[in-house]
Amino acid sequence: MVKYLLDQGYQVFMTSWKNPDASLEDLQFEDYMTLGPLSVVDVIRDITGSEKVNPVGYCVGGTLLSVTHAWLAAGGDENPFHASTFMVAMQDFSDVGDTSVFIDEPQIEFMEQQMKERGYLDNRKMANMFNSLRANDLIWSNVVNNYLLGQKPPAFDLLYWNADGTRMARDAHSFYLRNTYLENNFVKPGKVTIKDRPIDLTKISGDIYAVGAEKDHIVPWYSAWQINKIAKDAKVRYALANSGHIAGMINPPSKGKGTYWVNEESVSSESAEQWREGAKQHEGSWWEDWTAWLSERSGEMVDPPASAARSTPDRGRPRLLRPGDLSPGAPCKSKPGGAPAQRGRPSRFAEGTSSRPDPRRLRGGSRGWP
Protein backbone atom coordinates (compact mmCIF):
# COMPACT_ATOMS: atom_id res chain seq x y z
CA MET A 1 0.00 0.00 0.00
CA VAL A 2 2.85 2.39 0.82
CA LYS A 3 4.47 1.73 -2.54
CA TYR A 4 1.15 2.22 -4.31
CA LEU A 5 0.67 5.61 -2.66
CA LEU A 6 4.23 6.60 -3.45
CA ASP A 7 3.65 5.66 -7.06
CA GLN A 8 0.68 8.02 -7.08
CA GLY A 9 2.99 10.84 -5.93
CA TYR A 10 1.97 10.93 -2.26
CA GLN A 11 4.43 11.37 0.56
CA VAL A 12 3.79 8.71 3.19
CA PHE A 13 4.73 8.53 6.86
CA MET A 14 4.04 5.46 8.98
CA THR A 15 4.04 4.92 12.72
CA SER A 16 3.14 2.05 15.02
CA TRP A 17 3.37 1.63 18.76
CA LYS A 18 6.19 -0.33 20.31
CA ASN A 19 5.38 -3.77 21.67
CA PRO A 20 5.64 -3.03 25.41
CA ASP A 21 7.44 -5.03 28.03
CA ALA A 22 6.86 -4.95 31.79
CA SER A 23 8.68 -1.63 32.15
CA LEU A 24 5.84 0.09 30.26
CA GLU A 25 2.93 -1.47 32.16
CA ASP A 26 1.74 1.90 33.53
CA LEU A 27 1.53 3.51 30.10
CA GLN A 28 -2.01 4.86 29.79
CA PHE A 29 -4.38 5.02 26.85
CA GLU A 30 -3.96 8.79 26.69
CA ASP A 31 -0.21 8.24 26.26
CA TYR A 32 -0.93 6.27 23.10
CA MET A 33 -2.72 9.37 21.83
CA THR A 34 -0.22 12.04 22.89
CA LEU A 35 2.91 10.05 22.03
CA GLY A 36 1.21 8.62 18.94
CA PRO A 37 -0.99 10.64 16.55
CA LEU A 38 -0.53 14.02 18.25
CA SER A 39 3.26 13.78 18.41
CA VAL A 40 3.64 12.24 14.96
CA VAL A 41 1.48 14.84 13.22
CA ASP A 42 3.70 17.60 14.67
CA VAL A 43 6.78 15.89 13.25
CA ILE A 44 5.14 15.48 9.82
CA ARG A 45 4.13 19.14 9.74
CA ASP A 46 7.66 20.15 10.71
CA ILE A 47 9.14 18.03 7.92
CA THR A 48 6.69 18.94 5.16
CA GLY A 49 5.72 22.48 6.08
CA SER A 50 2.09 21.49 5.48
CA GLU A 51 -0.62 22.81 7.78
CA LYS A 52 -2.77 19.71 7.44
CA VAL A 53 -2.23 15.95 7.33
CA ASN A 54 -4.49 13.26 5.88
CA PRO A 55 -4.32 10.49 8.53
CA VAL A 56 -5.11 6.79 8.17
CA GLY A 57 -6.05 4.58 11.12
CA TYR A 58 -6.17 0.79 10.89
CA CYS A 59 -8.23 -1.32 13.33
CA VAL A 60 -7.39 -0.16 16.90
CA GLY A 61 -5.41 2.66 15.32
CA GLY A 62 -8.67 3.84 13.75
CA THR A 63 -10.41 3.82 17.12
CA LEU A 64 -7.50 5.81 18.54
CA LEU A 65 -7.72 8.28 15.64
CA SER A 66 -11.45 8.75 16.36
CA VAL A 67 -10.74 9.51 20.01
CA THR A 68 -8.00 11.95 18.99
CA HIS A 69 -10.44 13.83 16.75
CA ALA A 70 -12.95 14.06 19.60
CA TRP A 71 -10.28 15.13 22.10
CA LEU A 72 -9.15 17.98 19.84
CA ALA A 73 -12.77 19.08 19.33
CA ALA A 74 -13.42 19.06 23.09
CA GLY A 75 -10.58 21.51 23.68
CA GLY A 76 -11.36 23.75 20.74
CA ASP A 77 -7.85 23.07 19.46
CA GLU A 78 -6.76 23.58 15.89
CA ASN A 79 -7.28 20.23 14.19
CA PRO A 80 -4.18 19.29 12.18
CA PHE A 81 -6.10 16.53 10.39
CA HIS A 82 -7.80 17.16 7.05
CA ALA A 83 -9.35 14.09 5.40
CA SER A 84 -9.28 10.96 7.57
CA THR A 85 -9.36 7.31 6.54
CA PHE A 86 -10.58 4.54 8.83
CA MET A 87 -9.70 0.99 7.79
CA VAL A 88 -11.68 -1.81 9.46
CA ALA A 89 -12.07 0.38 12.55
CA MET A 90 -14.84 0.42 15.14
CA GLN A 91 -16.17 3.33 17.16
CA ASP A 92 -19.43 1.66 18.25
CA PHE A 93 -18.80 -1.71 19.91
CA SER A 94 -22.45 -2.63 20.43
CA ASP A 95 -22.14 -5.47 17.88
CA VAL A 96 -18.66 -6.98 17.66
CA GLY A 97 -19.77 -10.21 16.05
CA ASP A 98 -18.40 -13.52 17.26
CA THR A 99 -15.76 -11.78 19.37
CA SER A 100 -18.49 -11.19 21.97
CA VAL A 101 -18.20 -14.79 23.18
CA PHE A 102 -14.82 -13.88 24.68
CA ILE A 103 -15.90 -10.62 26.32
CA ASP A 104 -17.61 -10.46 29.70
CA GLU A 105 -16.63 -9.29 33.17
CA PRO A 106 -15.07 -12.57 34.37
CA GLN A 107 -12.95 -12.90 31.23
CA ILE A 108 -11.81 -9.28 31.39
CA GLU A 109 -10.86 -9.76 35.03
CA PHE A 110 -8.93 -12.91 34.09
CA MET A 111 -7.01 -11.02 31.37
CA GLU A 112 -6.30 -8.17 33.79
CA GLN A 113 -4.85 -10.65 36.27
CA GLN A 114 -2.61 -12.06 33.56
CA MET A 115 -1.50 -8.56 32.62
CA LYS A 116 -0.64 -7.80 36.26
CA GLU A 117 1.77 -10.72 36.22
CA ARG A 118 3.53 -9.69 32.99
CA GLY A 119 2.80 -5.99 32.58
CA TYR A 120 1.02 -6.74 29.28
CA LEU A 121 -1.19 -9.38 27.69
CA ASP A 122 0.88 -12.01 25.90
CA ASN A 123 0.29 -11.63 22.17
CA ARG A 124 -0.27 -15.39 21.87
CA LYS A 125 -3.36 -15.11 24.07
CA MET A 126 -4.86 -12.54 21.74
CA ALA A 127 -3.88 -14.53 18.65
CA ASN A 128 -5.48 -17.68 20.03
CA MET A 129 -8.72 -15.80 20.66
CA PHE A 130 -8.95 -14.46 17.11
CA ASN A 131 -7.85 -17.79 15.60
CA SER A 132 -10.67 -19.51 17.51
CA LEU A 133 -13.18 -17.35 15.67
CA ARG A 134 -12.12 -19.02 12.41
CA ALA A 135 -10.97 -22.37 13.77
CA ASN A 136 -11.44 -24.32 10.52
CA ASP A 137 -9.20 -21.97 8.55
CA LEU A 138 -6.70 -20.86 11.18
CA ILE A 139 -6.36 -23.89 13.47
CA TRP A 140 -7.66 -27.17 12.08
CA SER A 141 -6.37 -26.70 8.55
CA ASN A 142 -2.88 -26.41 10.03
CA VAL A 143 -3.42 -29.48 12.22
CA VAL A 144 -4.51 -31.57 9.25
CA ASN A 145 -2.11 -30.30 6.60
CA ASN A 146 0.99 -29.65 8.67
CA TYR A 147 0.78 -32.18 11.52
CA LEU A 148 -1.21 -35.10 10.14
CA LEU A 149 -0.13 -34.90 6.50
CA GLY A 150 3.34 -33.47 7.17
CA GLN A 151 3.01 -30.81 4.48
CA LYS A 152 5.17 -27.73 4.69
CA PRO A 153 3.11 -24.53 5.04
CA PRO A 154 3.14 -22.50 1.83
CA ALA A 155 4.96 -19.17 1.88
CA PHE A 156 2.33 -16.49 2.40
CA ASP A 157 3.38 -12.93 3.11
CA LEU A 158 0.17 -11.88 4.89
CA LEU A 159 0.31 -14.80 7.33
CA TYR A 160 3.98 -14.11 7.99
CA TRP A 161 3.09 -10.53 8.87
CA ASN A 162 0.12 -11.69 10.93
CA ALA A 163 2.38 -13.97 12.98
CA ASP A 164 4.13 -10.90 14.37
CA GLY A 165 1.78 -10.50 17.32
CA THR A 166 1.02 -7.18 18.97
CA ARG A 167 0.73 -6.20 22.62
CA MET A 168 -0.59 -3.24 24.57
CA ALA A 169 0.61 -1.99 27.93
CA ARG A 170 -1.37 -3.30 30.93
CA ASP A 171 -3.08 -0.09 32.02
CA ALA A 172 -3.88 1.05 28.47
CA HIS A 173 -5.17 -2.37 27.42
CA SER A 174 -7.46 -2.65 30.44
CA PHE A 175 -8.85 0.84 29.78
CA TYR A 176 -9.40 -0.01 26.10
CA LEU A 177 -11.15 -3.34 26.70
CA ARG A 178 -13.49 -1.96 29.36
CA ASN A 179 -14.46 1.19 27.46
CA THR A 180 -14.95 -0.55 24.13
CA TYR A 181 -15.89 -4.24 24.14
CA LEU A 182 -17.26 -4.46 27.68
CA GLU A 183 -19.09 -1.15 28.28
CA ASN A 184 -19.03 0.57 24.85
CA ASN A 185 -18.45 3.94 26.52
CA PHE A 186 -16.85 5.83 23.66
CA VAL A 187 -20.20 6.25 21.89
CA LYS A 188 -21.75 7.73 25.03
CA PRO A 189 -21.02 11.47 24.81
CA GLY A 190 -19.05 12.64 27.84
CA LYS A 191 -18.89 9.19 29.46
CA VAL A 192 -15.11 8.91 28.98
CA THR A 193 -12.70 11.67 29.98
CA ILE A 194 -9.17 11.77 28.58
CA LYS A 195 -6.69 14.34 29.80
CA ASP A 196 -9.46 16.36 31.44
CA ARG A 197 -11.59 16.48 28.29
CA PRO A 198 -14.92 14.67 27.77
CA ILE A 199 -14.92 12.53 24.64
CA ASP A 200 -17.82 12.95 22.22
CA LEU A 201 -17.35 11.10 18.93
CA THR A 202 -20.30 12.96 17.39
CA LYS A 203 -17.99 16.00 17.22
CA ILE A 204 -15.79 14.34 14.62
CA SER A 205 -15.94 16.52 11.53
CA GLY A 206 -14.34 16.86 8.10
CA ASP A 207 -14.24 14.38 5.25
CA ILE A 208 -13.96 10.69 6.08
CA TYR A 209 -13.27 7.60 4.00
CA ALA A 210 -14.14 4.42 5.88
CA VAL A 211 -13.70 0.89 4.61
CA GLY A 212 -14.88 -2.42 6.00
CA ALA A 213 -14.30 -6.01 4.92
CA GLU A 214 -17.16 -8.35 4.03
CA LYS A 215 -15.71 -11.43 5.74
CA ASP A 216 -13.98 -9.66 8.61
CA HIS A 217 -14.27 -11.80 11.78
CA ILE A 218 -12.64 -9.15 13.99
CA VAL A 219 -14.39 -5.94 12.91
CA PRO A 220 -17.77 -6.79 11.33
CA TRP A 221 -18.32 -4.67 8.24
CA TYR A 222 -21.68 -3.41 9.52
CA SER A 223 -19.98 -2.17 12.70
CA ALA A 224 -17.28 -0.37 10.72
CA TRP A 225 -20.14 1.29 8.79
CA GLN A 226 -21.49 2.92 11.98
CA ILE A 227 -19.09 5.86 11.56
CA ASN A 228 -21.74 7.10 9.12
CA LYS A 229 -24.20 7.57 12.00
CA ILE A 230 -21.72 8.59 14.69
CA ALA A 231 -19.81 11.38 12.93
CA LYS A 232 -22.88 13.51 12.27
CA ASP A 233 -20.90 16.59 11.24
CA ALA A 234 -18.62 14.68 8.87
CA LYS A 235 -19.05 13.78 5.22
CA VAL A 236 -18.44 10.04 5.06
CA ARG A 237 -17.75 7.84 2.05
CA TYR A 238 -17.92 4.15 2.96
CA ALA A 239 -16.52 1.30 0.89
CA LEU A 240 -16.97 -2.41 1.51
CA ALA A 241 -14.19 -4.74 0.37
CA ASN A 242 -14.56 -8.46 -0.04
CA SER A 243 -12.32 -10.87 1.90
CA GLY A 244 -11.24 -10.42 5.52
CA HIS A 245 -9.58 -8.19 8.10
CA ILE A 246 -6.15 -8.25 6.45
CA ALA A 247 -6.56 -9.58 2.92
CA GLY A 248 -9.49 -7.23 2.33
CA MET A 249 -7.27 -4.24 3.03
CA ILE A 250 -4.10 -5.40 1.28
CA ASN A 251 -5.26 -5.76 -2.31
CA PRO A 252 -3.03 -3.98 -4.84
CA PRO A 253 -4.82 -3.05 -8.08
CA SER A 254 -1.93 -4.62 -10.00
CA LYS A 255 -3.16 -8.06 -8.91
CA GLY A 256 -6.41 -7.58 -10.80
CA LYS A 257 -8.37 -9.28 -8.04
CA GLY A 258 -11.07 -8.41 -5.59
CA THR A 259 -14.46 -6.77 -5.43
CA TYR A 260 -15.77 -3.79 -3.53
CA TRP A 261 -19.03 -1.93 -3.06
CA VAL A 262 -19.83 1.76 -2.70
CA ASN A 263 -23.15 3.57 -2.39
CA GLU A 264 -23.24 7.04 -3.89
CA GLU A 265 -26.49 7.73 -2.00
CA SER A 266 -25.16 6.61 1.37
CA VAL A 267 -26.31 9.82 3.10
CA SER A 268 -29.88 8.55 2.96
CA SER A 269 -29.04 5.14 4.44
CA GLU A 270 -30.39 4.57 7.94
CA SER A 271 -28.64 1.27 8.50
CA ALA A 272 -25.76 -0.80 7.18
CA GLU A 273 -28.22 -3.22 5.62
CA GLN A 274 -30.00 -0.40 3.78
CA TRP A 275 -26.64 0.91 2.60
CA ARG A 276 -25.75 -2.55 1.27
CA GLU A 277 -29.02 -2.84 -0.64
CA GLY A 278 -28.24 0.34 -2.57
CA ALA A 279 -24.52 -0.27 -2.99
CA LYS A 280 -23.03 -0.89 -6.42
CA GLN A 281 -20.49 -3.64 -6.94
CA HIS A 282 -17.17 -2.86 -8.62
CA GLU A 283 -14.49 -5.26 -9.76
CA GLY A 284 -10.93 -4.66 -8.63
CA SER A 285 -9.36 -2.96 -5.65
CA TRP A 286 -11.00 -0.33 -3.47
CA TRP A 287 -7.61 1.41 -3.41
CA GLU A 288 -8.41 3.10 -6.72
CA ASP A 289 -11.67 4.51 -5.36
CA TRP A 290 -9.84 5.64 -2.23
CA THR A 291 -6.98 7.41 -4.01
CA ALA A 292 -9.45 9.15 -6.34
CA TRP A 293 -11.21 10.45 -3.21
CA LEU A 294 -7.90 11.31 -1.56
CA SER A 295 -6.58 13.18 -4.59
CA GLU A 296 -9.43 15.68 -4.37
CA ARG A 297 -8.47 16.39 -0.76
CA SER A 298 -4.71 16.71 -1.21
CA GLY A 299 -2.58 19.65 -2.23
CA GLU A 300 -0.68 20.32 -5.40
CA MET A 301 2.54 18.50 -6.30
CA VAL A 302 5.48 20.15 -4.51
CA ASP A 303 9.19 19.53 -4.10
CA PRO A 304 9.97 17.08 -1.28
CA PRO A 305 11.94 18.33 1.73
CA ALA A 306 15.69 17.84 1.45
CA SER A 307 16.03 15.71 4.58
CA ALA A 308 13.56 14.73 7.26
CA ALA A 309 16.34 14.33 9.82
CA ARG A 310 17.78 17.79 9.26
CA SER A 311 14.48 19.66 8.96
CA THR A 312 12.94 18.30 12.15
CA PRO A 313 13.66 20.47 15.22
CA ASP A 314 14.63 18.66 18.39
CA ARG A 315 11.68 18.98 20.79
CA GLY A 316 12.74 16.21 23.12
CA ARG A 317 10.88 13.58 21.06
CA PRO A 318 12.51 10.46 19.65
CA ARG A 319 13.86 11.27 16.21
CA LEU A 320 12.25 9.62 13.23
CA LEU A 321 15.68 9.30 11.61
CA ARG A 322 19.33 9.51 12.44
CA PRO A 323 21.30 12.25 10.65
CA GLY A 324 22.93 10.72 7.62
CA ASP A 325 20.31 8.02 7.18
CA LEU A 326 18.83 9.87 4.23
CA SER A 327 19.88 11.40 1.02
CA PRO A 328 17.24 13.26 -1.01
CA GLY A 329 14.95 10.79 -2.71
CA ALA A 330 15.96 7.80 -0.58
CA PRO A 331 13.62 5.72 1.60
CA CYS A 332 13.84 6.22 5.35
CA LYS A 333 15.60 3.70 7.53
CA SER A 334 14.24 2.54 10.85
CA LYS A 335 15.22 0.05 13.51
CA PRO A 336 12.72 -2.75 14.22
CA GLY A 337 9.92 -1.46 16.40
CA GLY A 338 10.56 2.14 15.41
CA ALA A 339 8.49 4.53 13.33
CA PRO A 340 9.25 3.87 9.66
CA ALA A 341 8.48 6.44 7.02
CA GLN A 342 8.85 6.90 3.30
CA ARG A 343 9.70 10.24 1.83
CA GLY A 344 10.65 11.84 -1.41
CA ARG A 345 11.03 8.61 -3.40
CA PRO A 346 10.55 8.92 -7.15
CA SER A 347 7.42 7.30 -8.51
CA ARG A 348 8.07 3.95 -10.16
CA PHE A 349 6.41 4.15 -13.55
CA ALA A 350 7.59 2.28 -16.60
CA GLU A 351 9.65 4.29 -19.03
CA GLY A 352 7.54 5.96 -21.66
CA THR A 353 4.37 5.98 -19.57
CA SER A 354 2.65 9.26 -20.35
CA SER A 355 0.92 9.43 -16.96
CA ARG A 356 4.16 9.34 -14.99
CA PRO A 357 4.30 12.22 -12.50
CA ASP A 358 7.40 14.32 -12.03
CA PRO A 359 9.50 12.23 -9.56
CA ARG A 360 10.88 15.42 -8.05
CA ARG A 361 7.48 16.49 -6.82
CA LEU A 362 5.07 15.05 -4.29
CA ARG A 363 1.48 15.69 -3.34
CA GLY A 364 1.12 18.03 -0.42
CA GLY A 365 0.52 21.69 0.18
CA SER A 366 -2.02 23.42 2.37
CA ARG A 367 -4.74 20.81 1.94
CA GLY A 368 -2.83 18.01 3.55
CA TRP A 369 -0.34 15.19 3.35
CA PRO A 370 -1.39 11.54 3.64
> Which of 56, 59, 74, 88 is flagged as catalytic?
59
According to DSSP, the residues that pair with 210 across neighbouring strands are 86, 238
Question: CA-CA distance, 174 to 26, in Å (whole number)?
Answer: 11
Q: Are 236 and 208 in contact (CB under 8 A)?
A: yes
Q: Counting beta carbons within 10 angstroms of the beta carbon of residue 148, is it exposed (0 to 12), middle (13 to 18) or buried (19 or more)? A: exposed
DSSP letters for 266-322? GGG-SSHHHHHHH-EEEES-HHHHHHHHHHTTS--EEPPPS-HHHHS--SSSPPSS-
Query: CA-CA-CA-CA torsion for 324, 5, 216, 129, nearest 10 degrees?
Result: 0
Length of the chain: 370
Cα-Cα-Cα-Cα dihedral sign, residues 181, 186, 192, 194: positive
- Strand (E) or helix (H) holding 13: strand 12-13
3-state secondary structure (DSSP) of residue 365: coil
Residue 332 annotated among the catalytic residues of the structure: no
Task: List the catalytic residues.
Answer: 59
